Amino acid sequence: METSTPPASGLTPEALKTYREHLTCSFPQLDDVFADCMTEAAALLSPTGIDDYLDGASLVCMIGRGFEPVLTYLENMPRVAKQVGEEALPLISQAVWKMSRTPNGRAIPGFLQTIAEVTRRLGSLQQLQRYVDLMFDMMARTTRSIHGFHDTIPSPGMPDLLEQIPFLLSQLSLEGLRNWIDYGIRNYGDHPERQRDFFQLQSADSRAVLQRERHGVLFMDHERKLDLYLWAMWLEHGEEKPYLVPYSEGFDELRKPQPYFDNLGIRVPDVYDDRNGISGLDRYRALLAHIAGHWRWSGKVIADNFSPFQRIAMELFEDCRIDTLVMRRYPGLRRILLGLHPKPVEDACDPKTESCIRHRLAMFSRAVLDADYDYSDPDIREFADRFQRLLAEGESSTKEMVSLAASFVARTRRQSDQLPNVRFTDTVVDYRDDNRSLWVFIEMGDEEEMFDLNEKQVQEEDSPESGLPPRHYHEWDYNTQTFRPDWVSLYESLHPGASPALIDDLLAKNAALAKRLKQILDMLKPQQLVRVRYQEDGSELDLDVAIRSLIDFKTGHTPDPRINMSHRTSGRDIAVSLLIDLSQSVADVPAGCQQTVLELSQEAVALLGWAIDKLGDEFAIAGF
Tens-digit pLDDT profile for residues 237-254? 667 888 888 888 776 555
Shared domain for 184 and 288, answered yes or no, is no
pLDDT reported for residue 461: 41
Instruction: Render pLDDT for 32-68 as a digit per residue (tens, 0 to 9).
Output: 899 999 999 999 999 999 999 999 999 999 988 889 9
Is residue 550 domain-resident? Answer: no
Whether the CB-CB separation of 134 and 182 falls below 8 Å is answered with no
* Mean pLDDT for the stretch of residues 251-258: 69
Is pLDDT of 480 > 50?
yes
Domain boundary among 200, 215, 230: 215
> Are residues 260 and 380 located together in one domain of the fold?
yes
Are residues 466 and 356 located together in one domain of the fold?
Answer: no
Alpha-helical segments (H) within 123-222: 125-142, 158-171, 174-188, 192-199, 204-213
Candidates 96, 45, 103; CA nearest to 68 is 96
Write down the pTM of the prediction.
0.58
Contacts of 167 (CB under 8 A, 6+ apart): 201
Mean pLDDT of all residues belonging to the chain:
84
* DSSP character string of 316-328: HHHHHHHHHHHHH
In a domain, 532, yes or no: no
Q: Using the 3D structure, point to which of 145, 180, 215 is the last residue of a domain.
A: 215
Domain housing 516: 501-526+571-623
pLDDT above 50: residue 7: no
CA-nearest of 510, 507, 565 to 537 is 565
Confidence of residue 446 (pLDDT cuts 50, 70, 90): very low
Please check whether residue 364 is in contact with residue 408, taking contact to mean a CB–CB distance below 8 angstroms.
yes
| Pair (483, 587) in one structural domain | no
Amino acid residing at 324 = T
Q: What is the tally of helices (H) and strands (E) in the chain?
A: 24, 16
| Contact status, residue 287 vs residue 259, Cβ threshold 8 Å | yes
In a domain, 543, yes or no: no
Q: Are residues 455 and 403 in the same domain?
A: no
Same domain, 159 and 92: yes
- If asked whether residues 286 and 203 sit together in one domain, one would say no
Specify the pLDDT at position 247: 85
Specify the pLDDT at position 389.
Answer: 92
Instruction: Count up the domains in the chain and report the number.
Output: 4
Confidence of residue 111 (pLDDT cuts 50, 70, 90): very high
338 and 460 inside one domain = no
272-308 in b/e form (b: 16+ CB < 10 A) is beeeeebebbbbbbbbbbbbbbbbbbbeebebeebbe
Q: Please write the tens of the pLDDT for every residue from 173-212.
A: 898 999 999 999 988 888 888 999 999 999 888 888 888 8
Same domain, 188 and 224: no
Residue 495 lies in a domain: no
Quick check: 307 pLDDT over 90?
Answer: no
pLDDT over 70 at 311, yes or no:
yes
Q: Are residues 368 and 463 in the same domain?
A: no
Which tens digits make up the pLDDT trace of 564-619? 888 766 666 678 888 888 888 878 888 778 788 888 888 888 888 887 777 777 88
Higher pLDDT, 100 or 618: 100
Question: What pLDDT was estimated at residue 325?
Answer: 95
How many percent of the chain have pLDDT more than 70? 88
Whether residue 403 lies inside any domain: the answer is yes
* Single-letter amino acid code for the residue at 399: K
Residue 561 lies in a domain: no
Residues 450 and 370 in one domain: no
Q: Is residue 448 very low, low, confident or very high in pLDDT (cuts 50, 70, 90)?
A: very low
**Cβ-contact 163, 110 below 8 angstroms:** yes
- Tell me the one-letter amino acid at 372: D
Q: What are phi and psi of 24, to 5 degrees?
A: -85, 80
User: Residue 400 — very low, low, confident or very high, per pLDDT cuts 50/70/90?
Assistant: very high
SS3 for 167-190 is: HHHHHCCHHHHHHHHHHHHHHHCC
User: Which tens digits make up the pLDDT trace of 418-437?
Assistant: 888 889 899 999 899 999 98
> What band does 351 get if pLDDT is binned at 50, 70 and 90?
confident
With respect to residue 563, please indicate whether it lies within any of the assigned structural domains.
no
Residues 290 and 171 in one domain: no
Over residues 457-477, the mean pLDDT reads: 57
Look at residue 10 in the predicted model and tell me its pLDDT: 62
d(C-alpha 175, C-alpha 350), whole Å: 36
Instruction: Identify whether 267 is part of a domain.
Output: yes
